[in-house]
Amino acid sequence: MSTGTSANTALSLDQALETGMAHHRAGRLAEAESVYRHVLAREPDHAHARYLLGLIAERFGRADDARLLFESAVARAPDHFEALNALGNVLLQQSRPKEALEFFARAVACGGHWAMPHYNLGTARLMSGDGAGAVAPLRRAIELEPKFAPALENLAAALVATGQSEEAERVLERALEIAPQPVTLNNIGFIRKSQGRLDEAIAAFRRAAELDPANPSMGDNVLLTMNYHEGLDAQTIFQEHLRWADRHAKSLYAGIQPHTNDRSPDRKLRVGYVSPDFKLHPVGLFIAPVIRGHDREWFDVLCYSDVAPADVLTEHFRKEATNFRELGGASDEALATLIREDRIDILVDLAGHTARNRMLTFARKPAPVQVSWMGYVTTTGLATMDYGLSDQYLDPPGRHEAFRTETLVRLPRSYVCYKPLFDCPAVGALPASRNGLVTFACMNSFSKVTRQALVAWGRILRRVPGARLVLHSDRSSHLHSIQGKLTELGLDPARVEFVAKRPLDAYFAAHNEFDIALDPFPHNGGTTTCDALYMGVPVVTLVGEHAVNRAGLSLLATVGLDELAAESIDGYVELATSLAHDLPRLAELRRTLRPRMQASPLMDAAGFVRDLEAAYRWMWRRWCNAAV
């Protein structure tokens, strides 16, 4: 039957609309659109026709057109709950969750018997940072539709945000019973990892990878968590990285095209930095002085950013870089094409196998020289990653080469430089002098706090009467199980305090209540170590065999305090204990640590960038010579 104007004219509006909807349901969208437009020609204020046209515009990716059509439908029929819900959805897709809230709330008021608007209202609140406000509408969506798996997923996220991680895990297990989705297992893994339950986390991540074997991010989570585990050796971790590369990257190597970059060894170079963390993040804080400090006579600096959402530090990078490329979800292949078009000479990865990485861009080898640095000190496993930046402490010569696919290039003084983002509080007097007791602290993610570390900290507290320990963990429902674990391991829970994440100014100020920082192991801290030292708090670290458990040594040695790095757990306990019993030494360290850091290579940004640029130049000349 024809859908032309003459045929439709003979139909009532309701009949015409039903004809259009039949086309719509059958996937004949062009025909449906023609009918809906005919209805509007006959009745311009027909709200439902505008809504249906909006659905078609949305299906074809015309989000702005869809939004305008939904808005016009709502303007004509304020209680059209489907249009209200659809308008909120478009705003949500356009990363405007706070604007979407109004329309989802109205949709709930008009169609409260339907699960979807409750789900969308909760999701919008969650995306707006209101985890507590998201819980009730998501619970209501599940009451209305008990097997609504996405609602269970988002409820779990809201519960985690409000410190109810144990219930969140139970909710995710319910979602698994409905449909064993990889994302659900992934989220279970993240909860377990945050609680230091690494074996269980790895098991969840492995199962997720089995369900979605083509998705590299599922395997990434296994690799990252293995670095935190106290029972895995370097060879085991290395082999897992090679397996990941064989599964996800190897097939891309054959498609690598020759590079046509100008091979002049001493010309100005174009350096590209790739990261999802050009923001208030440890990587962002460490890379900021580098982007600012590059010599623009000899280096163009391009940032390839996957940041979402942007923040004040992102704006800094936009201003400082020669070009700041916002990727907006571009595929790995599209990013590789862009990098080739930008004629990048040296491409630097700052993420490794952490979240939202671009390993499969690097697998395509879009630049002649590719470098792994900073965000991941273990191997990437990629045959296309030419170099790994390090230093003599993190990767002693002859120690780790067998566990890297990259050639290690050791910077002469430090593998990073440090500069606080804002004016930090002044260093206060030694807390033990006024409190009459010593306060130990570990401000690292609790995922780094292993059983061995807790046992060592228990030994330290038993040898320092009255001392207390402050740990960084959200005040979550899992803390009572952690406290039981502390008792089991010989730590009196009454002497352990948990503090949640706080704003940066409050985080730095809190260090004026700490006397000694305890570095976790086997995965040492990085930013937290620098922050503690800058606030006058000495850090005791345990040196291990992997690069991840030598970061503490590297940072301490760079400021001339390698005597605080122990070679054994017994030595670690002894160092922390003897320091706690020597208040004059603690007071002297507190007085001198900040100026010591400021005079050290760790805070010599200009000198560090010159070292880095010299390493880049060496890499470049090596490629030029090899290419002849």
Which residues 6+ apart lie within 8 Å of 126 measured at CB? 134, 138, 154, 157, 158, 161
CA distance 597 to 600: 5
The verdict on 492 and 588 lying in the same domain is: yes
Indicate whether 537 belongs to any domain. yes
Radius of gyration of the chain (CA): 28
Residue 278 and residue 314 in contact, taking contact as beta carbons nearer than 8 Å? yes
Mean pLDDT for 124-131 is 93
Three-state secondary structure call for residue 125: helix
Q: Which run of H or of E encompasses 500? A: none
| Residues 617 and 566 reside in one and the same domain | no
Residues 460 and 548 in one domain: yes
What is the share, in percent, of the chain residues with pLDDT greater than 70? 97
C-beta of residue 587 within 8 angstroms of C-beta of residue 433 = yes
Pairing state between β 516-518 and 269-275: unpaired
The answer to whether residues 370 and 273 belong to one domain is yes
Instruction: Kindly state whether residue 7 falls inside one of the protein's structural domains.
Output: no
CATH number of 378's domain: 3.40.50.11380
pLDDT single digits (tens) 254-286: 999 999 999 999 999 999 999 999 999 999 999
Are 564 and 440 within one domain? yes
**Tokens describing residue 33:** 């659109």
Q: How far is CA 59 from CA 33, 63, 86, 331, in A?
A: 12, 9, 12, 21
The pLDDT assigned to 438 comes to 98
Contacts of 333 (CB under 8 A, 6+ apart): 361, 364
pLDDT tens-digit readout, 147-165: 999 999 999 999 999 888 8
pLDDT band at 10 (very low <50, low <70, confident <90, very high): low
Q: Which pLDDT does position 5 carry in this prediction?
A: 43
Of the candidates 550, 370, 568, 569, the residue with the CA atom closest to the CA atom of residue 453: 569
Tell which residue, 535, 536, 531, 529, has the closest CA to residue 586.
536
Q: How far apart are CA 332 and CA 358, in angstroms?
A: 6
The neighbouring-strand residues paired with 516 are: 440
In a domain, 184, yes or no: no
Whether residues 523 and 595 share a domain: the answer is yes
The domain of 375 spans: 268-417+607-627
Residue 496: inside a domain = yes
**204 found inside a domain:** no
166, 478 Cβ separation under 8 angstroms: yes
CA distances from 71 to 44, 51, 100, 116, 462 (A): 14, 9, 12, 19, 66
Model pLDDT for residues 218-230, shown as the tens digit of each residue: 999 999 999 999 8
**Are residues 573 and 521 part of one domain?**
yes
Residue 533 lies in a domain: yes
Instruction: Return d(Cα 243, Cα 52) in angstroms, integer.
Output: 48
Are 406 and 442 contained in the same domain? no
Residue 124 and residue 554: Cα distance in Å, rounded? 44
**Residue 295 in this model has a pLDDT that exceeds 70:** yes
Task: Look at residue 87 and tell me if it is in a domain.
Answer: no
Q: What is the pLDDT of residue 7?
A: 46
Residues 491 and 584 grouped into a single domain: yes
The pLDDT of 244-263, averaged and rounded, is 97
Q: How confident is the model at residue 487 (pLDDT cuts 50, 70, 90)?
A: confident
Residues 327, 392 within the same domain: yes
CATH number assigned to the domain comprising residue 540: 3.40.50.2000
Determine, yes or no, domain membership for 524. yes
Q: Are residues 277 and 413 in the same domain?
A: yes
Domain total of the chain: 2
> Over pLDDT 90: what percentage of the chain?
84
Is 475 a residue whose pLDDT tops 70? no
Q: Is the pLDDT of residue 1 over 50?
A: no
pLDDT of residue 423: 85
Residues 471 and 375 in one domain: no
Average pLDDT, the chain: 93
Total-model pTM: 0.86
